[in-house]
Amino acid sequence: MNRPGTKTYTAAIVLTKTQLEHFYAGAVKDVQVREVSGLRVRFPLNALRPYVGHDGISGVFQMRVSADNRLLGIQKLARI
């Protein structure tokens, strides 16, 4: 449930190990995903760091943002 003034976005995210190497090399700082409603959402790729596995990142995630669109948190809802 959302707190007053917050929004949530849900998106399936799949990033390969090779794609993540660009992040670790400093070439990429943000990730842009298409939310289930079709809206594009951009946030720091670093927020996904706890979910990085051997093969990259894969799952359905929910992002919670403040009224001024600052990322408050992200959680993995399901595997893909």
Structure confidence by residue, pLDDT tens digits, 1-35: 577 899 999 999 999 999 999 888 988 899 999 99
Q: How many helices and strands in the chain, by DSSP H and E?
A: 1, 5
Determine contact, residues 46/74, Cβ cutoff 8 Å: no
pLDDT value of residue 1: 58
The domain locations on the chain are 7-78
- Prediction pTM value: 0.89
Does the domain formed by 7-78 have CATH 2.60.40? no
Residue 25 CB partners (closer than 8 Å, separation 6+): none
Question: Is the pLDDT at 52 greater than 90, yes or no?
Answer: yes
pLDDT tens profile 31-44:
999 999 999 999 99
Residue 53 has pLDDT above 90, yes or no: yes
